Amino acid sequence: MPELPEVEHAARSLRAWMQGRCIVRAAAERGRVLRDEDPRRFARVLSGRTLESVERRGKYLLLIFDREVGLLSHLGMTGKLVLREAGEVEPYSRARFELQGGQVVHFRDPRKFGRLRLAPARRLAQQPEIAALGPDAWEEPPTLRSLSESLGRTKRPVKLALMDQSVIAGLGNIQVAEALFRAHVSPRRRADQLRPEELGRLATAIRESLAFTLARLTPVQGDVSYVEEPGAANPFLIYGKAGEPCPLCGEKLRSFSQGGRTTHWCPRCQR
DNA sequence: TGACCCCTGGCC
DNA sequence: GGCCAGGGGTCA
């Protein structure tokens, strides 16, 4: 369930698995993931192509095949790219790329919130969803200056502003909660009322939180395990830990709803 | 800005 | 059986 670190990891995995390899056959099921795209066209356009490059912008993947065919991908809530041997059945596989030599890369997505869309390679970056993104939180890390400009424009709570992909691209519910905790800033604070020292701490905290999560996702193996999956230990500082003691002060961590999503925080550390 | 929707599985 | 879930989009 991907935020920037998981998508970055997916990009690295794709490069390791597919870059320079010929897709003997591509296929996809008709339905939400492909939206209005015809699966027959998907198969026709991508079969026989070679993956040339994979880029990440925010939570989107931009794949380029043979310099001309582009594929825009978003993993949604439950999307994941996995490498399997030929003939293995992959549950919830919505699309697959059969590689020369027998392996298969599946776009697995139980909840079908993910997306795959063909577009001319040349115009991938101009697709509306990509053009609407703010600076990438990892490639163009936020600074005191960039945050004071982007957050200074909105009266929304800082939690919601940081979740807005047009403000900063790549952060989701977990990374925002973790970064605000690291910065000692309350998620309820009005974005335009943060003091310079708080913005500076927040810029650092965002980079640290992303680096922390990304470090746990490497190295690339045959399969990609997300940081938090059913049964896995929760590696985060406060996310998903409401009711447990704060790792810094021991106060009980809390959660509440903000913009329809759960926000985790420490009422004593975050002001 | 908030409500609701898209989907399915896992957990209590 | 009901609630929850890290994504985005639309509508009033």
A111 as an active site residue: the answer is: no
| Distance, CA of A240 to C1' of C11, in Å | 31
Is this model's pTM higher than 0.75 or not?
yes
A59 as an active site residue: the answer is: yes
| Distance, CA of A185 to C1' of C5, in Å | 25
- Asked if residue A249 keeps its beta carbon closer than 7 A to nucleic acid strand C, the reply is no
Please provide the DSSP assignment of chain A as one string. --SHHHHHHHHHHHHHHHBT-BEEEEEE-SSGGGTT--HHHHHHHHTT-BEEEEEEETTEEEEEETTTEEEEEE-TTT-EEEEEETT---TTEEEEEEETTSEEEEEE-TT---EEEEEEGGGGGGSHHHHT---BTTTS---HHHHHHHHTT--SBHHHHHH-TTTSBS--HHHHHHHHHHHT--TTSBGGG--HHHHHHHHHHHHHHHHHHHHHHPSP-SS---SS-TTS---SSSTT-TTSBPTTT-PBPEEEEETTEEEEE-TTT--
- Asked if residue A209 keeps its beta carbon closer than 7 A to nucleic acid strand C, the reply is no
Nucleotides on chain B that have an atom closer than 7 A to a protein CB are: 1-11
Nucleotides on chain C that have an atom closer than 7 A to a protein CB are: 4-9
Q: What is the per-residue pLDDT for A36?
A: 84
Q: What is the per-residue pLDDT for A224?
A: 46
User: What tens-digit pLDDT sequence spans chain A (271 residues)?
Assistant: 799 999 999 999 999 999 999 999 999 999 999 988 999 999 999 999 999 999 999 999 999 999 999 999 999 999 999 999 999 999 999 999 999 999 999 999 999 999 999 999 999 999 999 999 999 999 999 999 999 999 999 999 999 999 999 999 999 999 999 999 999 999 999 999 999 999 999 999 999 999 999 998 866 555 544 544 555 788 999 999 999 999 999 999 999 999 889 999 999 999 9
Q: Which of A153, A261, A267, A271 is catalytic?
A: A261
- Asked if residue A229 keeps its beta carbon closer than 7 A to nucleic acid strand C, the reply is yes
A2 as an active site residue: the answer is: yes
| Distance, CA of A174 to C1' of C11, in Å | 27
Q: Which of A49, A59, A84, A201 is catalytic?
A: A59
- Asked if residue A117 keeps its beta carbon closer than 7 A to nucleic acid strand C, the reply is no
Q: What is the per-residue pLDDT for A253?
A: 94
A241 as an active site residue: the answer is: no
